[in-house]
Structure 1
Amino acid sequence: MGTVVIKLGSSIVCDDAGQPRRDVLEHVCDEAAALHGGGRDVVIVTSGAIARGMGVMGLGMRPRVIDELQAASAVGQGQLYRVYDELLQERGVATAQVLLTFFDISARTHYLNARQTLQKLLDWRVVPVINENDTTTTDEISFGDNDFLAAQVAILLGAELLVLLTSTDGLYTADPRLDPTAELVPLVEDFEALAALDIRQTTTALGSGGMRSKVVAAEMATAAGIPAVVANGRTLGAIAAAAAGEQVGTRFPARAERYSSFKLWLKYAKPARGRIAVDAGAARALRDGGTSLLPVGIVGVRGRFDAGDAVDVLHDGDPVGKGISNYSAVELRRVRGMKSAEAREVLPRASEEAIHRDYFVLA
């Protein structure tokens, strides 16, 4: 039996007044407990702390200022977790509250520590209830209503399924609230084909996500070999149907070509600190040959970064990929365009590769 990661968006966790939708949370916990009782590991990633805090404080619209967002989250976080804990305890399931920040995902050592902690909780047959630690994050609260966080959790745990619950029945050809001719897309196997659809990143009064962030989360998960389903969280049986492989919502099958968890972390989680421009030969070698990037292929360096930082690699302004630089920006500017032997004369202890192929992922 594998792990099922269930993510709930703010719009199904809380109503417009910021009050918990107990009917929705009850049936979600019913289905989560049933999966757990059947031998599966279950992880819940929830949004709604800010929405709950807004309800407690009587705020009509989602705050835009970071300290107000953090304060609203601080008010709502404990109350929201208490609802999950009570409902799951009533169903014989132990829970644990886990709060993560973007830094916990973007810093490799923290990423691995989060994996170990979550895995131990699952070994103990505890259901982690995960949310972003909004009260301490230093960046704009921008996990995409926790869709990105849910995908990263699924990847680091090697989950068997990611279920993204929202307030619509799945992905549509257009926004069904605006276009009555919009049709549900039951299966997505080609993410490039979605470019023709009107998939918006919307923000509601209570939430910050949208269908686009769910599609990106599904793309991340399926690249790791994890199927994903976007379904209506208010529909009874949606989680059970998704876990059973039945048709519900929009299913994104796992892709045959997979990235390692490290490369997925590098591609989606580790922020780039600078940019490296490469010539046509280097771009071709990276894209087609799977080779390392050598100083000789570098034509420009932008930004301030250190060795070990991630950098975007571009050719003629178009993205080629992202990698971990073996050089600082200052060092790369000194050796760009040089062959490896020449670079070592300038920097005797320098690596032969500016970016090793094992630490590079295509865009």
Structure 2
Amino acid sequence: MGRVVIKLGSSTVVERTGEPRVDVIGQVCAAVAARRALGDDVVIVSSGAIAHGMGVMGRTGRTSVIEDLQAASAVGQGKLFRVWDEQLAAHEVKSAQVLLTFFDLMARTHYLNARATLERVLTWGVVPVINENDTTTTDEISFGDNDFLAAQVAVLIGAERLVLLTDIDGLYTADPRLNAGAEIVREVTDFDGLSALDIGHSTSPLGSGGMRSKVVAAEMASAAGIVTVVANGVRPGALDAVLAGEQEGTRFAPAEARHSSFKLWLKYAKPTRGTIVVDAGAARALRDLGTSLLPVGITDVSGSFDAGDAVQVSEGARVIGKGISSYTADELRQVVGLKSAQVREVLPRASDEAVHRDYFVLS
């Protein structure tokens, strides 16, 4: 039994008029049913609630007013899920609506609760249809787009494959809508090599994503050992080819060095509350030796955070990584640059490590 997460962007799910693409949704549901029949667990991450809500209300385009986005989501979400539910039911597959916010993943307890819920739904043989809860979210707590959410879900449930469906055939050397000479990239094994490509932030009129967000999502999934494919969700047969393991779209290979689930959560889901600046020796030890960070290697502290909050660790302007602080910001300021024995004189019950190596991940 395998696990796959299939994500569809707004332009794939909804027409420019705001009407659901029932034919596309039907194709996806048929493919999902086929994978379910083979014993696979499948999760759908579907955008489009806002776009559909705007269409229902007779509004065109995508507004930037947060209250309008929230209201449009409230109008569109239930109606869009009903289409998914009906199309899956046509193949005798039960579905469950799951709405997540950034808060559901930023706190470790909530993160584990979300995992437990999805595990139980999958155990029941039900296909979750997930979207961000746009009705209550704000710019400050939003996933930004569902590519990131889909990658988070793939990591959360230990998926083997993440499929990001869009309205073009995959990742190109440049935007094919603007550059006729752009060529499709079939395989990505080195994310650093993508810096030479013209990967823009352009989006559809209905969505908030773009190809760059898909590359970031693929990099996150790759770090967890998950194969990611970006493919055309509108073209018939493309998804079937991806799920059959055939060459289709752009495939992002899984990384050889993989992070634990905890460190992936720390790196991608838990927000930072401040910054710890370290000297060259501490930076080298963190990068090359995998040691813990001690107060003696700290040169500055910024922000306001509590023990247990995530902090960014930097050497000057260069970000090294992210970790869980054992101290509050005020406590750290009292012991900056001090050796362990001196720290215990100032803070008798303090931990030796400002950031323990088990709770630190490199950028």
TM-score band by shorter chain is: over 0.9
1:10 aligns with 10
Q: Deviations over 1:134-183 (max 9, x none)?
A: 11124447424200010010001000100000000000000000000000
- CA distance in structure 2 between the aligned counterparts of 1:307 and 1:224, rounded to whole angstroms: 27
Matches within 5 A, 1:90-129: 90-129=90-129
The residue number in structure 2 matching 1:219 is 219
- 2-side partners of 1:145 and 1:313: how far apart? 26
2:201 is equivalent to residue 169 of structure 1: no
CA distance in 2, matches of 1:64, 1:89: 35
* 3-state SS, counterpart of residue 162 of structure 1: strand
Aligned equivalent of 1:344: 344
Which residue of structure 2 aligns with residue 318 of structure 1? Answer: 318
Counterpart position of 2:256: 256
Query: CA separation in 1, counterparts of 2:237 and 2:200?
Result: 27
Q: Could you tell me how far apart the structure 2 residues matched to 1:181 and 1:297 are?
A: 51
TM-score normalized with structure 1 length = 0.98
2:299 equivalent in structure 1: 299
- Output one character per residue of 1:219-257: Cα deviation in whole Å (capped at 9) or x when no partner: 000110110000000122222222222100000111111
Q: Secondary structure at the match of 1:220?
A: helix
Identity of aligned residues (%): 70
Between 1:117-126 and 1:55-64, the stretch displaced more is 55-64
Secondary structure, aligned partner of 2:187: coil
5+ unaligned residues in a row in structure 2: which ranges? none
Match of 2:41 in 1: 41
Structure 1 residue ranges without an equivalent (≥5): none
- C-alpha distance in 2, partners of 1:145/1:276? 29
Give the match's secondary structure for 1:273. strand
SS state of the match for residue 32, structure 1? helix
Runs of 4+ in 1 over 4 A off after TM superposition: none
Q: Write out aligned runs for 1:110-259 (5 A).
A: 110-140=110-140, 142-259=142-259
Q: Are the aligned partners of 2:103 and 2:141 in contact in 1 as well (CA < 8 Å)?
A: no
Q: CA deviation at 1:203?
A: 3.1
User: Are 1:85 and 2:77 counterparts?
Assistant: no
| Matched-pair contact (CA < 8 Å) for 1:154–1:221 | yes
Aligned residues: 363
CA contact (8 A) 1:176 1:182 kept: yes
Give the distance between the partners of 1:107 and 1:277, measured in 2 at CA: 25
CA distance in 1, matches of 2:87, 2:357: 48
The question of whether the paired residues in 2 share the 8 Å contact of 1:273 and 1:305 is answered with yes
Paired with 1:171 and 1:278, the residues of 2 have a C-alpha distance of: 38
Q: Structure 1 stretch 301-310 or stretch 199-208: which is displaced more? A: 199-208
Contact 2:16-2:206 within 8 A present in 1 as well: yes
Kindly provide the amino acid, as one letter, of the partner of residue 8 in structure 1.
Answer: L
In structure 2, what is the Cα distance between the partners aligned to 1:233 and 1:148? 18
Secondary structure at 1:218 match in 2: helix
Which position in structure 1 is the counterpart of 2:281? Answer: 281
CA distance in 1, matches of 2:109, 2:138: 19
Give the Cα separation in 1 of the matches to 2:141 and 2:263. 24
RMSD: 0.9
Residue 333 (str. 1) matches residue 333 (str. 2): yes
Q: Within 1, Cα distance between the matches of 2:143 and 2:23?
A: 26
Query: Aligned partners of 1:16 and 1:25: how far apart in 2?
Result: 15
